[in-house]
Amino acid sequence: MRPFCHCLVALGFAWLATILPAQEPQAPESVGAIIRSNVREVVLDVVARRKNQSLDTKLKASDFAITEDGAPQTIRWFRLIGGRDARVIAAPPKPVGGPGVPNANQPISTREPNFVSIVFDQIGADSRQNALNAATDFLEQQFQDNTQAAIFRLNLRLNAIHGFTNDRAALTAAVRRALNGNAVELATASANVLNETDYTITGGQGGVSINAGIDVTREPDFSTSSAAANPFSLSQTALAKMITGQRGMVDGIAGMKVWDSLLQIIRYESALPGRKTVLYLSEGLVNPPGRHDFVRTVIGAANRGNVTFYCIDVRGLTPASSNGVSAGLTKSAAATSQTQGTMSSSPSAAMAQAGEFDELEQAAATHVQLNMAELAEGTGGFAVFGANAFKKSMARIMEDVRTHYEISYVPALELYDGKYRKIKVTVTNPNLLIQTRDGYFALPELNGEAVQPFELFALHLLNTLPDTGPRNDFRFRAAALRFKPVRDGYRYEMSFAMPIASLTIPQDGNTHKARVHAVFLALIKDAGGQVVGKVSREIDREVPAGQLDRFRRGETILTMPFEAAAGRYTIEAVAMDPEGSRASTKRISLVAPEPGESSVSSVEVVHGIEPLDAPRDPGNPLEFAGGKVTPELSQSASAEAGVALFFVVYPDRDASRTAPIKPRITVEFFHDGKSVARAMPDSGSPDEVNSFPILQYTKLPAGEYVARVTVEQGGRVSSESTGVSVTR
């Protein structure tokens, strides 16, 4: 039986989905270290400015009032972060030991850290100079000793160009690489960041802990660039988790790729302490039509994770806005949200002022500036439009990062009803301008991660299984595929497969499009029945009605990564057809081997291989130089087509050597206990993440077989077997 595993924590999971056609309290006025309690708190970062845009840092808790959906809330905690006592680094430090390695003599702050992620979307040649100027202007601001930044670029997937550091010379170089690098260079940079650290994540209702899995300062072989002796190493491990977890979007919905990538940043940075800031530089943000719920999910996730967005439109001064919205709207946004929620809390009001109230629904999806303002202002930041000079805006962003009020309250209404709770913060001085986040989804948490709206019915269904028994409304398969070894166990891919023909697919007579909508969720429980992990994804895609017949003959195949410690567990999985109110469930016994027990992954029969449309994603073990592998969860193949096996070998290392030991690999097929086919594929050289992906093709007659892969390296032998069914 194929081994399954236990996921330690679900901080948020990215995905690879393929639709294959035919294939506790403190006094409010107190100041000091925060003592977090086990009660559910809402924490707000609040910036208060006078009309001349200077910060007001003399306010007390009694000056503030908070309402949630109009109901007054009691302030539980209040303090000013930063202020005049903040230490700043006035000049960029000189790098020691090469790019990306912070100065070892640099003082380590004992204050709560600030993390700033600078994210470049795909930017045209005409706007790159503005993007470079904006990022450079920010990096030239005075950094506190507790502030670090990282550089990212969106290019089909989210690439980490440089990890968190306050070495601004290295960050400036990374900015230029992000703007000018080609796809191969961006993927290589992301692989280097991933190789700099390994990690394990544990967590529960009391919090989350991320620990380095491998000390790269002592085991440099695991890195393709110098390991950073960094007091902010927690951020690097979360960054590696993000790279490993993300998957490319296959939804055909415009805007989903960007929003999904931003959600990945939010999910993994939510595990970090302190304030998290994202500078999103773009030529405009497109919302997925008809999926504003997903936009609000992203904003709600940012608000729960204390992540604030600042959106910079790098197109600069243009003769007209993207779709003719009045100058009043643009100026309102460019004034950096002078009142809380100028647009994000009431987009309709802003549009009405522009004389376009009747077209709000369409404009909200397509007006790229309004969308940027909603994201920024909804999370407590602001958006910058119509500017070719950015120094003042960047100075104000850095002021927000290092000086703001932190206020928390426990919601008077404890009902988890899944609705979006609107937050409003006011002050006694009506002349002050307040900037903070606008709300959150009232959803429970599971191991530190809030339940997403689409998961609610699936979780309810699984909770009723002891009374109702399993559901079998249609056929689907689920499996956990083991891959890379980590300190406490292994990294896995949870896979689901379901025929598209099993879904109820409504068609829109006006657009002539059909909706392919499915939800997949799995809960991982330990031997005592405690839920210790969760993976889930919603697929919601439109396809032309003319292509529907071809799609019905294919499958929806989904894989999501998670980590596993050794032990015995149970997976409760559900696949849902929301349009038809149908579902099927599975209960699977799980076994995860001891860490280091095997250096070869699960052996999978290949359903298909898609050519790579970009450089290999270093966080996806199902991608290799030859393409992207879709696993066949039935472990079957036809005699005519032959059997293609895919697996990954992870090298053992000899302490006396600097390079991985080349493995000796044997692939053998057995029928009725007798060996009927044997091959010894050459492993070649290790790839950019120090692994050996292997694809082995064999022609076999119809029958039942056992495929066994044996790996010898450095005197150690590992093997992995799987059943293979060959049909006529």
DSSP readout, 171-240? Answer: HHHHHHHHHH--HHHHHHHHHHHHHT-EEEEEEETTEEEEEEEE-TTT-GGG-SSPPP--TTHHHHHHHH
Whole-angstrom Cα distance, residue 56 to residue 223? 46
The confidence score (pLDDT) of residue 332 equals 37
Q: Can you give the pTM of this predicted structure? A: 0.60
The confidence score (pLDDT) of residue 419 equals 76
pLDDT in tens, 78-126: 988 875 444 444 444 443 333 333 333 333 334 578 889 999 998 888 8
CB atoms within 10 A of CB 329: 24
How far apart, in Å, are the Cα atoms of 444 and each of 35, 390, 455?
21, 40, 11
The confidence score (pLDDT) of residue 611 equals 84
pLDDT in tens, 663-698: 999 999 999 999 999 999 998 888 888 889 999 999
CB proximity list for 485: less than 8 A, separation 6 or greater: 491, 595, 596, 598, 599, 650
The confidence score (pLDDT) of residue 306 equals 83
**Strand 307-313 relative to strand 383-384, pairing:** parallel
Low-confidence ranges of the chain (pLDDT < 50): 1-19, 21-39, 84-110, 197-234, 247-254, 320-366, 655-656
CA nearest neighbour of 236 among 308, 149, 158: 149
Structural domains in the chain, CATH included, are: 84-192+250-402 (3.40.50.410), 599-728 (2.60.40.1930)
Whole-angstrom Cα distance, residue 490 to residue 722? 18
Whole-angstrom Cα distance, residue 444 to residue 558? 25
Whole-angstrom Cα distance, residue 447 to residue 15? 19
CB 666 within 8 A of CB 645: no
Query: Does an H or E element contain 508, and which?
Result: strand 507-508
What's the maximum distance between 2 C-alpha atoms anywhere in the chain? 85
